[in-house]
Structure formats: structure tokens, C-alpha cells
Amino acid sequence: MQFETLLIETPAKGVALIRLNRPRQYNALNSTLLVELGDALNHFETDDAVGAVIITGSDKAFAAGADIAEMVGISGQQMLEMVEASTGWRALSTFTKPTVCAVSGMALGGGFELALQCDILLATKGAKFALPEVNLGVIPGAGGTQRVARIIGKSLAMEMIMNGRALFAEEAHQRGIVSRVIEPTEIEAEAVQLASELASRAPLAVRAGKACVNKAMSSTLEEGLLFERNAFIPLFDTEDAKQMMTAFLNKSN
């Protein structure tokens, strides 16, 4: 696959890596990138050779947000049309396979929102997360207000969204935004190792687990428990469950 704004790599069996590649603009998310991201994810969704996807940027920046050059002076109606044409957001939110986001440097605005839509977020020491849209007279528009508030709580979310307060990797880790803080030289290898493990696991169980955790972020406990029950039961009819439990009892796993 050839793209103008993305590089696609296969760093390990079952793993596809999407590298945001607009180095001169700190990987700012322009409309081309957001369409190409949708095309790449839609391809990987149906590619049986891919079990997990890594999304990453460069050493300096994951992404500096939406491309301000495309937003300056546009109307609300034009922004709505741009959002609807940006298929990458929808493709990521409906992607059923596991996604690992490896953030080096800065993840700002839409770049942070993109990272927040991935399943597992890894960051380098020194990585910076912020929602600075207020400095441009707007607010986050790709889920930032909702996802950040649910993860870090109201007061700090208010500081980030109303006052542009940044979180560095350690604080982002303490507040549950990232699951691991890693040396810059090691983050990519660790992301590949993690994605390889995910890709090697029973795919239907991994997808069901992902769907359930995502449901937890957007439902009441009762709705989530029902969703979990409905995801849990059918897994007993899968070959993986039968074989893996038998292998456990036979001590051959």
C-alpha cells in the first residue's frame, strides 16, 4: 500500500504498523491523512494476515493536531463537511482488531484524540499530551472532551480543555491515559512485542474483550454487564475456546 501521508510497515508476523508521515508539519492531520488512515484501517480490518495494528509518528511528534491551515477561516458547515469526509476517525472507532498507539514527542489536539481512540497507549519519557484548541478559539472535536473526562476525571479535564494544560508522560501514566512509559529508544520494539502478543491470541476473544472495554467507557454498569454477557456466551462455541481449554487440562498449552 502506497500513501502520501502514511508509511505502512510489517514489523512482525500479524502486525501492521501505520506511521504518520508529514514531518515538516509535525504530522498535523490534514484531510488527505485522515482519508488515507481510513483506507489503511479498512484494508487491515479485512486482511486475515493482520491481527493487530500499531499507529505511531516520528521521534519528535506523534501529531500536532488537525491541520490548522485547512481550518483557518472555514465556516461551521464547512467543518462539518470536513469531519464527515475524514473517514479515518470512523474507521478507527469501528476497527475491531487491537490497536497500539506509540507516542513519542507531542500528541496535541486531534493528535491526542487519535491516540485516545486506540486501545493501548504507550508513551516515551518526555511525551506531551495536550488539547490546546482553546488557544485557537475552539474545543476538541474528535472525542477529546468526552474521552479525557472519562479517563482522568472532571477537574483535570477542565484544566486541559478550558486552559490548555498539558500532561507529560509520567502524569499521563498516573492518570490512566497511557499504560506504559518507555525509553525513547525502546518504544517501537515494545509496541511491536505487545502487538505481536495480541496478534497471536484467540482473535474472537481479543475482539470481544476490546468491544466490552469500549462499552464500559460509554454505558451504565447494567448495560455494560449485559453487553459482556452477550459477548462471553458465544465464545464457548468457538474452536479456540474448546481447543485452548482442552490443551490447558492436557498440560499441552
CA distance 126 to 181: 9
Residues 186-225 that bind ligand CO8 (CB under 6 A): none
Q: Does 65 bind ligand CO8 (CB under 6 A)?
A: yes
Q: Does 132 bind ligand CO8 (CB under 6 A)?
A: yes
Among 38, 51, 57, 109, binds ligand CO8 (CB under 6 A): 109
Smallest gap from Cβ 99 to ligand CO8, in A, equals 18
**Edge-to-edge strand order for the sheet containing 99-103?**
6-12, 15-20, 52-56, 99-103, 120-124, 180-182
What is the separation, in whole angstroms, between the first and last Cα of the chain?
36
Smallest gap from Cβ 71 to ligand CO8, in A, equals 7
Q: Does 108 bind ligand CO8 (CB under 6 A)?
A: yes
Instruction: Report residue 203 as a C-alpha cell.
Output: 482473535
Given a contact cutoff of 8 angstroms between Cβ atoms, the answer to whether 165 and 133 are in contact is no
Query: Using H for helix, E for strand and C for coil, what is the string for 21-61?
Result: CCHHHCCCECHHHHHHHHHHHHHHHHCCCCCEEEEECCCCE
Q: Does 136 bind ligand CO8 (CB under 6 A)?
A: yes
Stretch that binds ligand CO8, among 8-16, 21-29, 96-104, 193-201 (CB under 6 A): 21-29
Q: What mask of x and - would describe binding to ligand CO8 in positions 146 to 165, judged by CB under 6 A? A: --------------------
Q: Does 57 bind ligand CO8 (CB under 6 A)?
A: no
Could you list the active site residues? Answer: 66, 110, 113, 133
